[in-house]
Structure formats: C-alpha cells, structure tokens
Chains A and B, each alone.
Chain A
Amino acid sequence: MNTKSPYQIKIGKILSVKQMTSMEKMFEIALPGEDLSHAPGQFVEVSLLGIGEAPLSVSSSPTKQGSFELVVRKVGKLTGALHKLKAGDEVGIRGPFGQGFPVRILEGNDLLFVAGGLGIVPLRSLINFVIGNRKNFGKVDILLGCRNPKEMLFHEELAGWKERLDVNFNCTVDKADPDWKGNVGLITSLIPGVTLDSERTFAVVVGPPIMYKFVIMKLLDKNIPERQILISLERHMKCGLGKCGHCQIGNTYCCQDGPVFTYEKVKAIGGAI
C-alpha cells in the first residue's frame, strides 16, 4: 500500500551548535532543499532514532530562510542526546505542528511580550518577526524574566532589542549575582510600570506553568481584554497529531489546537493553568 505515514521524519542537518548557558544549547538546522515554513509559536518534533522524539519550539523567525533554530534545555533522554551532537550531524524532524501566534490579528496593534525562563525561546520567533516587519505593528514592549543572570539567553540579541528606539525592553532576575546591575524581582513586578492602551494591546505571554496565573492577573489589572492575552501552553506530547492524548487539556489537544491559546479560551477549558 502506498501510504504516507504521519510518523515519517525528514532529515535535518545541523549547521551549527552554540552553548548558550550551562543547560541550553542552540542548534541551527537545515532541511535539505526546503524551508521549514513555520509560523512563530509552532513547534517541531525532533527525533533521534533509537532514543525518541521531543517537541521543541522553533525559536527563529520565519523571515530567516534556509535554516531554523532550536534552543534545547538538557533535561532527559532525548535532550541529553541532542546536546552531544555537533555540526554536520543529522536529526529527524516532523512538523511544524500546532497553531502559532495569530500574526494577522496582531498586525496593526500594540504588543506586550512577557517571557519567563525558557519562554523566550518560542517568543523570540515572534519578536524577531515583528522587528523584521516593524512598520506593521504598533508600540512594542518586551518584558523578560529569569531565575538568575546565568540563565539569561540570547544576550547579544537582547542587547540589540534594548538599543532599538522602537522597542521598549526591560528585564529582571529573581536572584541577582554580584555583576548584575538590572532589576531584581519576579516578572510580575515589571508589568505595572508599562504604559499601554488596553484597547489596542495584545499581550503575548510564554513561561513556566506557575508564571501564567500571576502574570495574567496583572494584565487583567491593566484592563487588557481576555481575548487579547495570548499564551503558549506546555504539555507532555508524543504524536503531535491530536491522537495520543498526552497533551490533552479538557477538550483540546494542545499539539493541534495549541500550543498558543487566548486566555479567554484557556479559561473556558478549565484546568489549563
């Protein structure tokens, strides 16, 4: 029977590997002869045969041609094995999967990005897309938080965003070290200081599960409507095809219906955050 298995992988060639922190590495990957053609916020299933598969967010902007970037935190079997790879090695790629950020809807509006920890990885895809098409968007604020300065990712890029006059950038760490000159405190502490027009602001929030509740409370305090708060949910995923059930929250399959949802939708699902 001539069938196309949804489990078939494409070969991805690793072009470069960069150590970012003690836990994270960035991989630049090319699919020979094609672009990944992802939307910001989408993810791919990365596989190493004999080891397994894991969902990983695409961190580069779709405006980047010829290759894409993943940032991988070493936490277990597959991510540990990925960390041992070097330029020239191959990985298997399935996807892109899921609903990314609704770029069309965001156009013409003000954007408030809130990234906690690894949340900056998928958010970076959208931020760089917005910066690459800057005139299509209104005011842009970026708030970034992480546990300590050592865990901060994309130093050079962050510096670039900070320099820009058309982007307001602010960051904080939960715990400072002697070299840290910036804010200390939870990311929620940065939100009250942002001036925004709640009518035309979309807040895009990505971070660890516990962060959402508190950040969203602050955003609602700012009168941002629930349907203008976008979040990306992390769930255990296996198939990416809306079948295996691991990623299910209430009635929704995070891998196909998400990972990006409006807070309005998330609230209706129940048990999501």
Chain B
Amino acid sequence: MNKPKVSFFDFACCEGCQLQIANMGELLLDVLGAIDVVEFREVMSEKWVGEFDVVFVEGSITTPQAIEHIKRLRARTKTLVAYGSCAAIGGVNGMKNNYKLEDIRKSVYGKDANFFPTVETKAIHQVVKVDYVIPGCPVYLPEVVAVLKAFLAGLPRPVPDNAVCVECKLNENICLYERGVACLGPITRAGCNSWCINHGNICYGCRGLVSNPNTKGAKDILEKYSLSVDLIANKMNMYNKCGENDNRE
C-alpha cells in the first residue's frame, strides 16, 4: 500500500503545534513508518506540487489572502485536519474579534494599515470543510496519533464531548477549586488527559467548550468559591471567542 502523502501548513499561529510534532521523539519513527511527509516548512525545505492525501493545518484565518490560500489547499487535498486551538476553534487569535477591525489594524500597523487588509478571525471550519479536528494549545501528541490512526483506517474521530474533569478525576488530581483557583475543566472538552492539571497548571479551555455547557452553572460555581466571574470570562475569551460565530449560524 502506498503511504499517504501528508503535508503541514500554518496560518496565523505561533507554530508551537508544529514544534510539538517535530519534537515527537520516539513516536515519530512509528508515525513516519505509516505516512509520507511531503511538505513541512518547520523541518524540511522541499515543496510538493501535486495533490495531498492529507493536509494538517495549524493557525486561524485572519486575512483575505489566507482565505484564498486555505481554499486552494482544500481543493488539493482529500482530507483536511485542523490541528491546534487556532485552527480548531480560533484560539487566542480570536481575541481580535473583541475589537473593531479598523481599530485593530491601526493599532498594529499604524500608518501602513491600508496595506494590510484584515478580516475577522476564523477557525478553519468556519471557512472550509474540515475532516478531523485536534484542538489544544499546543496539541496533545497522543491525540494527534489517535487522529492519524483514525485517518489511516478511514474512520471518523469526533472530539470527545465530556468535560476535562472526567480525565482529571481518573488521574486522581487534587481539584483546583479546592486550591481556590478557577479552572475551566468543567466546561472544556476532554481528550488531553488533563495534561495541564497533571502538571500543576489550570485548564484554560484551549480545547473548546463541551457541546451543551452549563455556563450559568459554571458562573454560580465561581461565586460559591468567591472567584471573580470576569476572571473566568477572560480566560474563556482567550481561546473561545471565535466559537461565538458557530452559535450565530
């Protein structure tokens, strides 16, 4: 069997997810045994001119040029994977949508603003059809491998729809609320094996909200713990601003 031709592209992002993949370590050899990487700017200089079997896209769409580029990529590939929070849910780039586009443009580019057309930040699926989604800032490698396996086997692989708390409890971590710290675990989608909390961090909601979040209930929780609601609203906003566009549709 021919190994599928895989490529990696990035849009507005920090390239941290690519770095994750490039630094996969031992697993990388297994992965490379199963796929044929034909284009990956972070690690190789070759460019591929033909069709792709699968394109991994990192980053969100923030310019008219990017819209055209992602559409061209979509046309060249059988399968498209949005990986990383920026691509999957808009991620931190979504904070741009808190401001008027004109204001943003001026504050970033100053007097040259007119040379830099810009659009509202969009997650990849808000522009083109996406076949697999791997949220996470950065992506959690075991999940990347799981999605890769699903792709190789031709199977669907939806993002889990239960809370990060589920995995966190299975790992028997001390709940951050007991430390008096606000954590977005209860309303954020699992699938990262509560990676951040295992390492003493809080959940910032980088994987997006569960499909049916009880946001009112989550606010009440903060009040019960005397934590500021603004605090969590900011944390939510940090990764999930673009999600508002999904709800509008």
Contacts and interface: CB of A to CB of B under 8 A. Distances in A.
Interface of A: 50-51, 76-77, 80-81, 84
A77 B154 CA distance: 9
Nearest first, the 7 closest Cβ-Cβ pairs linking A and B are: A77-B155, A77-B156, A51-B155, A50-B153, A76-B156, A81-B155, A51-B153
Interface in B145-160: 153-156
A86 to B, nearest CB: 15
B79 to A, nearest CB: 15
A135 B155 CA distance: 48
A233 B165 CA distance: 32
Nearest to A78: B155
A171 to B, nearest CB: 34
Interface centre among A77, A80, A81 (most CB of B within 10 A): A77
Contacts of B154: 81, 84
11 contacts: A50-B153, A51-B153, A51-B155, A76-B156, A77-B155, A77-B156, A80-B155, A80-B156, A81-B154, A81-B155, A84-B154
A50 B156 CA distance: 13
Contacts of A77: 155-156
Nearest to B149: A50
A81 B150 CA distance: 12
Contacts of B153: 50-51
Interface of B: 153-156
Contacts, number: 11
Consensus secondary structure, chain A interface = loop
Contacts of A80: 155-156
A51 B153 CA distance: 9
A51 B156 CA distance: 10
Contacts of A50: 153
A144 to B, nearest CB: 32
Contacts of A76: 156
Nearest to B156: A77
A51 B154 CA distance: 10
A158 to B, nearest CB: 33
A76 B150 CA distance: 13
A243 B241 CA distance: 41
Contacts of B156: 76-77, 80
B149 to A, nearest CB: 9
A182 to B, nearest CB: 36
Contacts of A81: 154-155
A50 B150 CA distance: 10
A84 B155 CA distance: 11
A99 to B, nearest CB: 31
A138 B156 CA distance: 48
A50 B155 CA distance: 10
A77 B153 CA distance: 11
Nearest to B153: A50
A261 to B, nearest CB: 29
A83 to B, nearest CB: 11
Given A51-B153, A80-B155, A80-B156, 8 more contacts: A50-B153, A51-B155, A76-B156, A77-B155, A77-B156, A81-B154, A81-B155, A84-B154
A80 B156 CA distance: 9
B150 to A, nearest CB: 9
A47 to B, nearest CB: 14
Nearest to B150: A77
B155 to A, nearest CB: 5
A81 B154 CA distance: 8
Contacts of A51: 153, 155
A81 B155 CA distance: 8
Contacts of B155: 51, 77, 80-81
